[in-house]
Homo-oligomer: A and B are copies of this chain.
């Protein structure tokens, strides 16, 4: 079998505890003793057994990450960054996909696999705040996004409303007056969709442009959802000269559909998205969008979660953090 701490202790002529002390950087060890132990470790090629360590210590140094779909570009980029950030802090990330199904979101929260993590980064798309609070268990949970806002929940988010308002204002400044919104219900006011829609409405109001619910088209936040939503508007004969996809995937799908149907972008219709995924720089035309501070979101959510795990952050109320955003003006809406 593998080399154990016992083997190391025997080889170094010390007790188990002393080996453990060396391994855990305990301060008060005689240098000579420490050296003997380290030599024995090197010679035997000893490697700590992580499972045994977890069983005894109750710590795993893993963080869970629950998101709807890792194949969605925004989540893929976010997950990649979260993993890099966590690694720098000595943690690994275990990803789970919920498919944006309420049963799976609840399942992820109650999954026995949470035993293998010290805390959870959770992006609930359908679960309500109360349900999260009552099922989150005893380990720290930090929410990403904003479907859910509960005073008792930690949350790291982006400036959805302000960024959406800035995007819409940009379209209005370019002379657009009938701006379709893709990915929301007309009356929606909660969650990322609702907040972004609010921002859109504020910008309209500021410009004295009336809100037309006929311009709001629901759709899955994917490329095919954007294509279908814009196709629906065209087929219903709703006139528009701008499109705001509530995320880049929606906007890119919509842009494709417009171009296929011979509608020129941006001449006939200007298009903007939200997220600034890498693809936005390389679409044709390139996509005007907003960069929601993904690095900051990754940094702060990992930091907050680890602080909760370590007990460095002990506020009973939820901590709320919000990243800054940057408008990215490109060719789809110059």
Contacts and interface: CB of A to CB of B under 8 A. Distances in A.
Interface size class of A (residues with CB under 8 A): 35 or more
A300 B71 CA distance: 20
Contacts of A49: 55, 115
Given A69-B80, A70-B83, A92-B94, A255 B284 contact: yes
Nearest 4 pairs of A and B residues by beta carbon:
A76-B76, A71-B80, A70-B80, A256-B282
A295 interface: no
A227 interface: yes
Highest count of chain B CB atoms <10 Å: which of A52, A93, A95? A95
Chain copies in complex? 2
Given A256-B283, A256-B286, A283-B256, A278 B51 contact: no
A116 interface: yes
Interface string A268-307: 0000000000110111101000000000000000000000
B116 A97 contact: no
A79 B54 CA distance: 27
Given A73-B76, A92-B94, A50 B112 contact: yes
A69 B255 CA distance: 27
Contacts of A255: 284
Given A49-B115, A223-B278, A223-B279, 10 more contacts: A47-B115, A50-B112, A50-B116, A70-B70, A70-B83, A73-B279, A84-B97, A222-B278, A256-B281, A256-B286
A107 to B, nearest CB: 11
Contacts of A79: 70-71
Contacts of A32: none
A227 B282 contact: yes
Nearest to A79: B70
B278 A279 contact: no
A205 interface: no
B284 A283 contact: yes
7 contacts: A50-B115, A51-B116, A55-B55, A69-B80, A71-B278, A73-B279, A256-B283
